A and B are shown apart, each in its own frame.
Chain A
């Protein structure tokens, strides 16, 4: 039981001159406890796809099964609210949506909406704040007086407080500085490992895809054009070229070295330490003379 898409199509601006197919014949099976990256160019349908994962958008045709809830395209589907508690969707720049007077109230907003008591919501807010690595002192502060990175964490805590099984993240590191980006990604990885959250990450950064995702889905003009193992994607140069995808920085460096030195290296290497060792080996051992 995870999230399944069965022949899902989605039309934007249906029946107008602007009508456009945003998703075309999407078949997809997402297992719980996975870490999946969704990539593709701006306009390829990534945001439309993830908005189907918690029923913010419903298919024009086809079926989406979200955990135990079935959503049938072209019909009015009832009682889908509960899905939004179990699949938490973090939009791009979620800090723009903070609105309460205090951090605590903002984080409690979601749980309260799903009918937990005030006391319980307050406990969940404290927990969630811990998960995003923020100090409890911030609870009574106005979210609008925090730094950009802190605000984003508060917004994410608001989603986590609903205790979703699946966390869908739309470019969660956009606009953060390198340190902030790294911390944010480590935080999601920890939630994945320690809280068994299923993570679905939309990103343009292939370094994160290489570092964290087990599986990658590539979208192009509304269709899935690749769905599989991360390193199988990065080894598939035809596909990479055809869809103008980027490679992780380390893979680009490996290819550069191979071409110039006329040697072969393992393209699945993803740390500098391993790359250095592979180079030492390829070049005939460490140099003790120089």
Chain B
């Protein structure tokens, strides 16, 4: 696996007193889906802003595709990284859905023909083709986020960052976006970074990175990280219900393992019921 983002000894402060990012080191590999988990204030969104050069680090380096992020390279690097923000209402500029998707491309002097092609392709990808001429502000939260994703996809970047993109949506909207991220992952040509505190969302990723007080405190497979109750609680997060039930059942020797995945837990119970 080839690293696509390499973050070394990164520091950042909003007020020159408290460190929002405090000695953070992280490597993200090409085409993996990484979920960055942490409570509000742990520094995850600050990290996202540093990644796309909206904020400048105090110290340390961010390398994207072998280029060190700096004032000279920031525009190049933004062409590699698309981002979808948390609040669906704060990221629209166009008067129609189509205009809005075109906006980012206009800034990159992409030909009109190519723009049309991409709008057509990605509006279908997010299943919003019926809304091309609609005004963005009349859409539901989930629909707005889908349009924002189409806009990010149209930029044809290698990396996509979802900065708590589902946290303001209703369950249906959340599911739609998570399904879409899974599809993008399965298409296999994007590196996906989703910043979240939703455990269900983190469970879908290839790898989970847990942040606390501006630094990475753990990283690993979702099934390993999410069952670590001490770690999760310590980071202001919760463990899945399956983990809690596993712990209880272990006390009765009904199962031997702690399961993150519901299917695995139920299967283990079923096996027990057969031998009993």
> Interface of A with B (CB < 8 Å)?
41-43, 147-149, 174-180, 182, 204, 244, 246, 249-250, 253, 256-257, 260-261, 263, 272-273, 275-276, 279-280, 283-284, 286-290
Q: Which residue of B lies closest to A262 (CB)?
A: B273
Question: What chain A residues lie within 8 Å of B171 (beta carbons)?
Answer: 204, 246
Asked whether A284 lies within 8 Å of B238 as measured between CB atoms, the reply is no
Question: What chain B residues lie within 8 Å of A148 (beta carbons)?
Answer: 40-41
Report Cα–Cα, A179/B35, bound state, in Å: 18
Asked whether B242 lies within 8 Å of A177 as measured between CB atoms, the reply is no
Asked whether A253 lies within 8 Å of B242 as measured between CB atoms, the reply is yes
Q: Which of B172, B238, B273 contacts A283, CB < 8 Å?
A: B273
**10 A-B pairs with the lowest CB-CB distances in the bound complex, closest first:** A276-B248, A286-B252, A179-B236, A177-B39, A287-B253, A177-B197, A178-B238, A272-B244, A177-B40, A290-B253
Check B270 for interface membership: any CB of A closer than 8 A: yes
Most buried by B among A180, A250, A260, A272: A272
Asked whether B269 lies within 8 Å of A260 as measured between CB atoms, the reply is yes
Q: Which residue of B lies closest to A282 (CB)?
A: B273
Most buried by B among A42, A176, A178, A280: A178
| Min distance, Cβ A202 to any Cβ of chain B, angstroms | 11
B: contact size bracket? 35 or more
Q: Which of A176, A177, A261 contacts B269, CB < 8 Å?
A: A261
Residue-wise, chain B 232-262 has the 8 Å CB interface mask toward A (1 for contact) of 0000111001101101110111101000001
Q: Check A261/B253 contact, CB under 8 A, given A178-B197, A256-B262.
A: no
Check B140 for interface membership: any CB of A closer than 8 A: yes
Report Cα–Cα, A138/B245, bound state, in Å: 39
Question: What chain B residues lie within 8 Å of A179 (beta carbons)?
Answer: 39, 236-238
Asked whether A41 lies within 8 Å of B248 as measured between CB atoms, the reply is no
Q: Which of A147, A174, A250 contacts B40, CB < 8 Å?
A: A147
| Min distance, Cβ A261 to any Cβ of chain B, angstroms | 5
Q: Check A260/B270 contact, CB under 8 A, given A177-B39, A286-B254.
A: yes
Question: What chain B residues lie within 8 Å of A182 (beta carbons)?
Answer: 238
Q: Which residue of B lies closest to A273 (CB)?
A: B248
| Min distance, Cβ B242 to any Cβ of chain A, angstroms | 7
Asked whether A272 lies within 8 Å of B262 as measured between CB atoms, the reply is no
Asked whether A257 lies within 8 Å of B39 as measured between CB atoms, the reply is no
Could you list some 13 contacts between A and B, CB below 8 A?
A: A147-B41, A174-B167, A177-B197, A177-B236, A180-B39, A250-B241, A272-B244, A273-B248, A279-B254, A280-B252, A283-B272, A284-B276, A287-B276
